Structure 1
Amino acid sequence: MITSRKKVVLVEDSPIALEILQQLLKSSPEVDLVGTARDGVEGLEVISRTQPDVVCTDLFMENMDGLELTQRVMAESPRPILVISNFVGKKDVENIFRLLQAGALDVFPKPITGSPTDYAKVRDELITKIRILASMKVDANPQKLSAAIESSTSSSFLGTNPQVTNIASSVQVIAIGASTSSLQTIQKILKQLPQNFSLPIICTLHISGGSLPELVNWLRCECHLKVKIAELGETPTPRTVYFAPENSHLELDVQGKFTYVRATVTEKYCPSITVMFKSLAKYYGRAIAAVLLSGLGSDGAEGLQAISQAGGITIAQHETGGGLFGMVKQANSLNAVQHMLGIEEITPFLLQIVSS
């Protein structure tokens, strides 16, 4: 049952694309298209007047483009922004990261006309993204996250539970699973970790092919830790963030060294968060803390369950709107989530684990 429709403003300068997107949005009972604009200047006025839950904008427009619009919105009246463009595909990595740095939460390729089946698929994907983004908290003031970290000892995330504190004191590795929509969240989490963070961090991310090297380079400039793609035969070391390679699952062998495993033809995700989580659970047992961020699909849920059953600490991203979607919803249905935390709470929690 739909309890509330998500208010959306659409900023698009192409009449054809505007018509297609309007049809997609208006065909859903979950969305209320409250305004449209032809460029960023007009978009700012419409956004101010309608106060939407989500802004969908094109990238390249006259007068004010989507990048400047994103910067202005995040500075003046922050809210979730989805960039819908022909220039956010696999070959447009630089555009994507510039938009994410400006505050956009996700990108979506501009739809084209096609068969009714294709139309329905695009509509469902777009509406799902809007629903998830509408539930996400955005903040123009990064100092709030820093303040949350500084007050983490008084908040005592772990101190209220001696059993969890004892487990935290033995944690040897942090694992993170995420989708493309969580790139900004990963950046926020890693940026707040100090250079002397004493645990390795191992990540699996769903990302467009060919984009991972650019992501790693971006994060290197954004955080204090070393960031790299995990190398075959390498042993995880502290103060380093490792990412699974694009075309293989990332696992650990019996000696605790990285190994690559090719996906089978029946596997939907490669690299797979669940495959990585299960491998780390097998090697580290209770000495692991895992974070599953919001994203589409179900990958990561069974892996988080394996870590919980092994005695490790499991964390999932909680959205402000109260709804659970995709990977986090699946993990929660398996009773795999021990701690449901908002974005601003995850980094303080990880720091508390280290200090324990």
Structure 2
Amino acid sequence: MNENEMGSQRMRIGVVNDMPMAVELLRRLVLSTGEHQVAWIATNGREAVEVCRRDLPDLILMDLAMPEMDGVEATRRIMAETPCSILLVTASIEANLAGVYEAMGHGALDAVDIPSVGIEGNASSQSARLLTNKIGTIGKLIGDAPTQAKRRMSRAAEPTPRRLIAIGASAGGPAAVAAVLSSFPVDFGGAIVLVQHLDAQFVPGLVDWLGQHTPLPIRPARERD
């Protein structure tokens, strides 16, 4: 049984992208599942914020680089005013790591590269499957619990020094983690372990990005650490 078969909820999905070819590709992928429908299409972040006030979908496929208002600011406003599930779908996650982590800090659940297009204008099967699987997973999460509940993050600040500090963060956690780590002095006398809900492919980029926000040395965990 795959992720899309595990109780995934039928969803109304909003698409936010300023590129007509990308919009059409995403529209086809949403409809290809036979389960979901396209609620509306917005060509920039500002338009998406306005449409959400009138017609809130179950899920938004949000681009990052757009005119008038980018996906980071649109995510921030939507999650503040009319919260719903947001999946970042952009041309290159690697080229937009800072924006990805910032948008996740505002409440976006996950991120994926927009599927590549073959000669006939259709999405390649592997990249299309990755996106539809993520949509299916979010549909299951929506069916299991309210979206608003998944946005809550808990942070415990220890008043006394510890030899080991463990931090657990949900998909929206990178910005909060960066804020927490930035408060530690470079001579902090302990170890910190971060468990972050994030695809493994993003780990190297997260390490580099967090390193820009704290004087502490950061590296991926290794076996037997």
Normalised to the residue count of structure 1, the TM-score between the two structures is: 0.46
Q: Which amino acid in structure 1 is aligned with residue 201 of structure 2? A: I
SS in 2 for 1:122: helix
| Deviation for aligned residue 1:60 | 1.7
Structure whose alpha-carbon radius of gyration is higher: 1
Check whether the contact 2:167–2:192 (CA below 8 A) recurs between aligned residues.
no
Q: Give the distance between the partners of 1:74 and 1:227, measured in 2 at CA.
A: 32
Of 93, 98, 101, 1:97 maps to 101
Q: Which amino acid in structure 2 is aligned with residue 97 of structure 1? A: Y
Structure 1's 65 and 53: CA in aligned 2 closer, same or farther, altered over 3 A?
same
Structure 1's 201 and 4: CA in aligned 2 closer, same or farther, altered over 3 A?
closer
Q: Which amino acid in structure 2 is aligned with residue 51 of structure 1? A: L
SS in 2 for 1:64: coil
Q: Give the distance between the partners of 1:63 and 1:202, measured in 2 at CA.
A: 35
Q: Give the distance between the partners of 1:16 and 1:28, measured in 2 at CA.
A: 19
* 1:37 alignment partner in structure 2: 42
* 2:82 alignment partner in structure 1: 77
Check whether the contact 1:216–1:227 (CA below 8 A) recurs between aligned residues.
no
* 2:15 alignment partner in structure 1: 10
Q: Unaligned stretches of 5+ in structure 2? A: 158-162
| Deviation for aligned residue 1:19 | 0.7
| Deviation for aligned residue 1:99 | 2.3
Confirm whether residue 67 of structure 1 aligns to residue 87 of structure 2.
no
Structure 1's 215 and 42: CA in aligned 2 closer, same or farther, altered over 3 A?
same
Identity %, equivalent residues: 26
SS in 2 for 1:228: coil
Give the number of aligned pairs.
Answer: 203
1:136-215 to structure 2, matched below 5 A, reads 137-138=147-148, 145=154, 182-185=170-173, 201=193, 203=195, 206-208=200-202, 210-215=204-209
* 2:111 alignment partner in structure 1: 107
* 2:160 alignment partner in structure 1: none
* 1:131 alignment partner in structure 2: 136
Structure 1's 130 and 61: CA in aligned 2 closer, same or farther, altered over 3 A?
same
Give CA deviations for 1:132-189 in whole Å, capped at 9, x if unaligned.
33426446986x746xx69xxxxxxxxxxxxxxxxxxxxx9788899xxx55346657
Check whether the contact 2:101–2:175 (CA below 8 A) recurs between aligned residues.
no
Structure 1's 120 and 36: CA in aligned 2 closer, same or farther, altered over 3 A?
same
SS in 2 for 1:184: coil
* 2:218 alignment partner in structure 1: 228
SS in 2 for 1:96: helix
| Higher normalized contact order (CA 8 Å, seq sep 6+, divided by chain length) | 2
Structure 1's 102 and 4: CA in aligned 2 closer, same or farther, altered over 3 A?
closer
Check whether the contact 1:11–1:37 (CA below 8 A) recurs between aligned residues.
yes
Structure 1's 67 and 13: CA in aligned 2 closer, same or farther, altered over 3 A?
same
Q: Give the distance between the partners of 1:67 and 1:110, measured in 2 at CA.
A: 17
